[in-house]
Amino acid sequence: MVSAMTKRVVAWGLVVGGVAAAVAWSFRPQPVPVELVAASTMPLVVTVDEEGKTELRDVFVVSAPVAGRARRITLEAGDAVEAGNTVVAEIEPTAPAFLDERDRAEARADVAAAEAALVLANAEVEQAKAELDFAEAELRRAQRLAASRTISEQAIDDAERAYRSRRAALVTAQASVRVKEHTLERARSRLTSPATQVASDDVCDCLELHSPVSGQVIEVFHESEAVVAAGDPLLSVGDLSDLEIRAEMLSTDAVKVRPGMRVIVEGWGGDVPLAGEVERIEPRGFTKVSALGIEEQRVNVVVGLRDPHQTWRSLGHGFRVDIRVVLWETDAALTVPVTALFRDGAAWAVFAERDGVAHLTRVDVGRRSGLDVQVTDGLREGDRVILSPSDRVADGVPVVGR
């Protein structure tokens, strides 16, 4: 027979034990929820990044060779042009200038003078004609007389001479008339008003300018019909399939860059990054104030695109791109996100998760690229690390991935 005491102890022991177990169980350390990522072997690319702009390798500016009236340029930016064939602009002579009142009066006076001079010249022609007629008649008479030997040789010569000189004088007077006629025309032409000029579209006494190169029109400077001076740029053309990228790199970055280095071109608006190559690094540095307001020494770096033109057809001149010059790359680097790293004393460390527990693990880090950091020692492929560990995570603390 079990004693009363024992019965009590057993019964209460069970109950209290149950409660104690529940309480103790509630105090078991709760795993801290964390975000886990596996260290993975993946390609790592260390780059120097900069913003750049596309530029046509060669831009051809078509400018007016002479002053004149450039007709309206119907070509628009983007239109295709063919070297030598496509007429890109037409220049026709300009209309004469206006005269002010004084000049006009002078011109009119000139016209009147010229008219008078013409009249005078005509009159002189008449006179010369008359004199010639007389000289001719005299000569004839002299010749008739010569046949009959009635006149002296000298007289015949004089008559011939007189005739010839009168003929020359007539020619002179006629020429003078012509000169006066032209002078009158000149004086009259000064009175020509530009308003009387009639431009005819289809008939164009123009100078045609042809495209120097095949490609596209880049920019039209003078679209509308206008009077241009010699040398005024009219439009620019270029071959958009011949683009290069120009970036202003910090000189301290530019020294790390060599021609031939691979370049990744991003941020150009397309879906996929483009492949490029460093073509040259200009030797001259220049000062530029950065976006942060700091003066820096920069160097131009030129990058050529290596992908087929089809893939970046939509890129134009002066478009913004981001270039990433590959300084170092590898196909297989064990990487973790940078948000998993923290300092443990002088070394870098991560919290690696194994069997539901966080372990403080020192690591050696190699190269960095963007958010990825190469781990050269301390972790193996597939090891899971905790991203952005909170203050609750410590060595030996149970954790659970969310």
Cβ closer to other proteins: 51 or 126? 51
Alpha-carbon dihedral 188, 190, 191, 197, rounded to 10 degrees:
110
Q: What is the C-alpha separation between 51 and 144, in angstroms, rounded? A: 105
Q: What is the C-alpha separation between 313 and 332, in angstroms, rounded? A: 33
Strand partners, 283: none
Cβ closer to other proteins: 283 or 293? 293
Kindly provide the b/e burial profile for residues 318-346, where b requires at least 16 CB atoms within 10 angstroms of the residue's own CB: ebebbbbbbbeeeeebbbbbeebbeeeee
- Kindly state the smallest distance separating residue 32's Cβ from other proteins, in Å: 8
Q: What is the C-alpha separation between 207 and 235, in angstroms, rounded? A: 16
> Rounded to 5 degrees, what are φ and ψ at 157?
-60, -45
Q: In 27-152, which ranges are continuous DSSP H helix? A: 101-147
- Kindly state the smallest distance separating residue 41's Cβ from other proteins, in Å: 19
Among candidates 52, 55, 59, which has minimal Cα distance to 216? 59
Cβ closer to other proteins: 284 or 402? 402
Cβ closer to other proteins: 215 or 276? 276
Cβ closer to other proteins: 97 or 291? 291
- Kindly state the smallest distance separating residue 388's Cβ from other proteins, in Å: 4
- Kindly state the smallest distance separating residue 351's Cβ from other proteins, in Å: 12
- Kindly state the smallest distance separating residue 24's Cβ from other proteins, in Å: 8
- Kindly state the smallest distance separating residue 370's Cβ from other proteins, in Å: 7
Cβ closer to other proteins: 79 or 296? 296
Q: What is the C-alpha separation between 177 and 120, in angstroms, rounded? A: 8
Cβ closer to other proteins: 31 or 96? 31
Binding site for other proteins (CB under 8 A): 3-5, 7-8, 11-12, 15, 19, 22-28, 30, 32-33, 35, 49-51, 250, 253, 267, 290-294, 320, 337-339, 341-343, 346, 368, 370-371, 373, 387-392, 402
Using an 8 Å Cβ cutoff, are 246 and 301 in contact? yes
Q: Which two tokens stand for residue 232?
A: 């005024």
Q: Which two tokens stand for residue 325?
A: 């010059």
- Kindly state the smallest distance separating residue 357's Cβ from other proteins, in Å: 18
Cβ closer to other proteins: 12 or 286? 12
Distances (CA, A) of 135 to 106, 155, 172, 324: 41, 12, 16, 100
- Kindly state the smallest distance separating residue 84's Cβ from other proteins, in Å: 38
